[in-house]
Structure 1
Amino acid sequence: MFAGLSAFPLTPINEQGVHEDEFIRLVTRLARARVDSIGVLGSTGSYMYLSREERARVTRLAVEGADGVPVVAGIGALSTREVIRLAEDAQKAGASGVLLAPVSYQALTEEEVFGHYKAACKTLDVPLCVYDNPGTTHFTFSDKLHARIAELPRVASIKIPPVPLDREAAQTRIARLRALIPDHVTLGISGDPAAATALGAGCDGWYSVLGGLFPEAALAITRTAQAGNAEEAQCLSDIFEPLWALYREYGSLRVIATVAELQGQVSAPCLPLKTLTGEARTRIERFVEACG
């Protein structure tokens, strides 16, 4: 579950709520592609903009539509007590695992983050993935903190930020962290542009925005890298460089939501964020047309 391709679909939503039919179609496509897991309510799934009830409903819909593919549900929230409630909801809905980022309003210390994870782990019967995403949480994990948290019961994976695109530098980064964590804890890369490099440099899996919309393409990159064909995997990734360039300018969520809207897979953006307009949208239209 915490290795290979974990595909993260959008949660289509507007002022009236979640577009359930559209969400189910996205999940069904991932299930047909046989991704290794489906990650709902991550950053791509706009979890921080949904109510507790909406999040529980989204998880249930994902489990029902996943056709046996494990579902990992995000449980990040501002308070530890709310995280515990969300963890209970996710488990009741049938999630096979949970994903937790240290979301905060006040800046958190390392000791506070450790206590946050420790309290959450005490309530879990399913494995947990540590979500290290400083770009959205504004908290930066030290390797020492990762090592402490990785020793907690139920911790099974760490979703790390993008590694350097230089393979040797990526290998050094991954090896340094892996030396500090238990063998059973996997390392998964986030940040699609760095995925091929990271998989070739020793990461176990890819937590993928691209995979949530284009599972076949993301699986091709993943399986090629897993087979040891790092250069070929990089070539497959390079096809998406026009998309990666847009990621770097506008963020992956806005870009992938715009692609999904242009393809007719969703009818609304993931509020309060808006899909792209103007020159950026034109660039996406050209990429979608070129790639078919």
Structure 2
Amino acid sequence: MSKILIVAEHLDGTLNPATARCVTAATRIGGEIHIAVLAADPANVAAQAARIAGVAKVITVARAENAHALAAVLAPQVAALAAGYSHVLLPSTTFGRDLAPCVAALLGVAQVSDLMAVDGPHAFKRPIYAGNAILSVTAPADRTVVATVRPASWPAAGNGGNAPIEAASLDVALPTHTRFRGLSTGKSDRPDLQSAGKVVSGGRGVGSAENFELIYRLADKLGAAVGASRAAVDAGYVPNDMQVGQTGKIIAPELYIAIGISGAIQHLTGIKDAGTIVAINKDADAPIFEIADIGLVGDLFQIVPELEKALG
């Protein structure tokens, strides 16, 4: 039977929802599921992880060095924890993409990236070529599987669990060549882009950073997160942590509204798992309309204010 270790992603004492999506993927693999929480003070995050349905145990590693999620510091500890586990799973977020390769290298195995489907304990599917093809991957059955889980492909496991929490003490030497200097994040009262149920995104067609106020106002009316295409980010309209697409965030909201976005394949890769896609663009031949469930052809500077007014 498989024994699966999920490395929890968290920030400021809050568990990232991507961790619960990893639990769903782990249940498809089958076996006993444990979550590892590495932090300076893991108690609050561990309590949240213990409530996820399907989790058999939460393991905490409390060290002052774990106050910040540095891959070079966390990887030796995760590799040590991995002893006895058949699988080590991490979310395919910035955190997981940074940490998983380091863990795989320490364990001497090849990483499986962006796991989107499970065919068996060691057989998986993952997207390639910007999601235009699906690759079947078989990992060696006699080695630990280190994989990142594509959050957009899996629903989050629900609450209702009551897993025991166990503290682990690791005698692991940590490297000193990497140190934390600072973390800069945009402050916003809007929902988190990667976990939001509704997202409004703007593209090059919005025209300027000032015009992005249209996008923000509509998002606030809907209680939605705000995203952007790479073209809008490159043009300096918004910061790059709002970028949606192959080189940005892969998301799967219930509602995605693309405003002034033409729909390059790299952007479509980031939204193809969305429930309902609404596109507003003045170019009737824009590629975004090929995948949109609802398309509005017209001037966004007229349509968006009218839509905002209709929402009251």
Please say whether Structure 1 and Structure 2 have the same fold, judged by a TM-score greater than 0.5: no
Structure having the higher helix fraction is 1
- Larger RCO: 1 or 2 (CA < 8 Å, sep 6+): 1
Which structure has the greater CA radius of gyration?
2
Structure having the higher strand fraction is 2
TM-score, length basis structure 1: 0.31
